[in-house]
Structure 1
Amino acid sequence: MSDRYRLTTVERVREAGSWLFTIRDRYDAREEAILVPCDAGVGAWVNRCTHQPQRLDTGRGATIRDGEIVCPRHGSTFDACSGACDHGEAAGTRLRPIEVTVDDGVVYLTDDDVQYLSDGGLSAGNDGDDGDDDDGDSESDDDGGPSSTSHISF
């Protein structure tokens, strides 16, 4: 089993609607990832539509409707638990998963192909250095506000 990194709680993801964090992938590239509530607890995905490089969570939370993540650009919808898209320009594709484990209501990053860098997204002032300066306080970045005021909501 891989090492576990504590991200947040299922309760917090449900209350917020989604939870954004930054990772480094196996190719040393910084990426954003999101946790979203679903029937199985939480789904974890790279924060990018499969149709175009559009962020699903733009820093204000992902739009979730009837258990589906809605792309703010073209309206493609992705199942929050499976990542599958059955509507919109991205139909027939699937979001790239990030492996997480839920243990006693706590969400842990357990994906061997990524490294946790920080809470929040790249545009939230996270330059994604190496995350070593982050003291693990997941409370600090949640009140920073959006980097952009444009956002489609339903």
Structure 2
Amino acid sequence: MDMRYRLTSVDTVLDEESWLFTARDGRGEDVEVVLVPCDGERDDVLVEAWRNRCTHEAQRLYREGVGAVVRDGGIVCPKHGSIFDSCSGHCENGPAAGSTLPSVEITIEDRQVYLTDDELTYLHEGPSDDEDDEDGPSSTSHLRF
């Protein structure tokens, strides 16, 4: 049986519109992962998990105190406005066009969300403790959230 770790409930992600946790990868590096609602074609997929970084620049998509900006089924990069489809992770606009967010494997069972990615080990809810990491965008965007 695969190892899994209960993260949160589907209802929490749907209510809050995003939910963040930190995991450790096989190289010993901390990785932030954002859970977002997904209104895809499959009824059983209500939440998807993506690494918390824009593919254009190492910009956090989910920021402490703000969350991830999710609009019309897309996750908005707060720096340049690129929008990633919350179900596929693919971006078709802005500087990140043509790229896809790295996914993280999760499983939903009885409306509970479990981390089932063999390459990650759950550490804690919320952002990483990496002090060298930029906390928010030095935005050149006209977008306001």
Q: Report the TM-score when normalising by structure 2.
A: 0.85
**1:131 paired residue number:** none
Residue 153 of structure 1: how far off its partner (Å): 4.3
Q: Does 1:117 align with 2:93?
A: no
Aligned partner letter, 1:115: T
- After TM superposition, the structure 1 = structure 2 runs for residues 59-98 of structure 1, keeping only pairs within 5 Å, are 59=64, 60-98=66-104
User: Is 1:102 paired with 2:101?
Assistant: no
Q: Which amino acid aligns with 1:67?
A: G
Specify the SS of the correspondent of 1:34. strand
Give SS of 1:11's match: helix
Q: How does 1:129-144 map to 2 (within 5 A)?
A: none
1:49 and 2:78 aligned: no
The count of residues paired between Structure 1 and Structure 2 equals 132
For 1:107 and 1:153, the matched residues in 2 are separated by 31
**Structure 2 unaligned runs (5+)?**
40-44
Structure 1 counterpart of 2:7: 7
Q: CA RMSD in A?
A: 1.9
| 8 Å CA contact retained: 1:63, 1:153 | no
Q: What percentage of residue pairs aligned between the two structures are identical?
A: 53
Which aligned runs of 4 or more in structure 1 are off by greater than 4 angstroms? 150-154
**1:78 offset after TM fit, Å?**
0.3
C-alpha distance in 2 between matches for 1:25 and 1:4: 15
TM-score, L = length of structure 1: 0.80
The gaps in structure 1 that reach 5 residues or longer are 128-146
For 1:136, the equivalent position in structure 2 comes to none
What is the distance in 1 between the residues matched to 2:20 and 2:32?
Answer: 7
Measured in 2, the distance between the counterparts of 1:61 and 1:153 equals 14
User: Which residue type is aligned with residue 81 of structure 1?
Assistant: C
Amino acid in the other structure paired with 1:91: A
Query: Which whole-Å CA distance do the structure 2 matches of 1:5 and 1:73 have between them?
Result: 32
SS of the residue aligned with 2:37?
strand
Q: What amino acid maps onto 2:29 in structure 1?
A: A
Give the Cα separation in 2 of the matches to 1:70 and 1:26. Answer: 28
